[in-house]
A and B are shown apart, each in its own frame.
Chain A
Amino acid sequence: LAKTTQPISMDSYEGQEVNITCSHNNIATNDYITWYQQFPSQGPRFIIQGYKTKVTNEVASLFIPADRKSSTLSLPRVSLSDTAVYYCLVGDSGAGSYQLTFGKGTKLSVIP
């Protein structure tokens, strides 16, 4: 499983765009990049997944450069309710392993 590195914490004011970058230098050809969000005392919640270039859904965008050694989760116009821990996961379930390996994530604090 590819190791990921992301900032431990970030602060942002309400209404701003937040970009959280994750490094995954040893990402494999078959690996997808997946981001989860976790609120206190709740289970992780799937946000977005991508393989290359850009993916956008109703919640976030995911930017992946051509070398795929990093990815950036972009949250537009954050609100107080976006305060949570965000996890970047990289893995290939095609290799036979379906377990998700969570790191410590990035704790985002949105300030009014």
Chain B
Amino acid sequence: NAGVTQTPKFQVLKTGQSMTLQCAQDMNHNSMYWYRQDPGMGLRLIYYSASEGTTDKGEVPNGYNVSRLNKREFSLRLESAAPSQTSVYFCASSFTLGQPGETQYFGPGTRLLVL
């Protein structure tokens, strides 16, 4: 099993450009998440999908959109990139959100630089 995979690994954008970060998991998990990681701030939840067909905002959703394409795939879109979105983006998945002891599994991350 590959676990959680993300593409691309690294991306440079100019302000105003758009892009989509891709995430896929092969663990048959129901729930998927997008986080951003910034120095000194830990991981902050952008959006999550509790199950196929549902998405909800997390702590920092502004400037982002998501699509749960199917059970395996959960994409994050930046419609008009801003320098404040320079960050490392992690996708994660878990079997079923809200279950006691539920554990998240993380992808390798995408480093995004917005100039």
Q: Do A and B come from one complex?
A: no
Interface residues of B (CB under 8 A from A): none
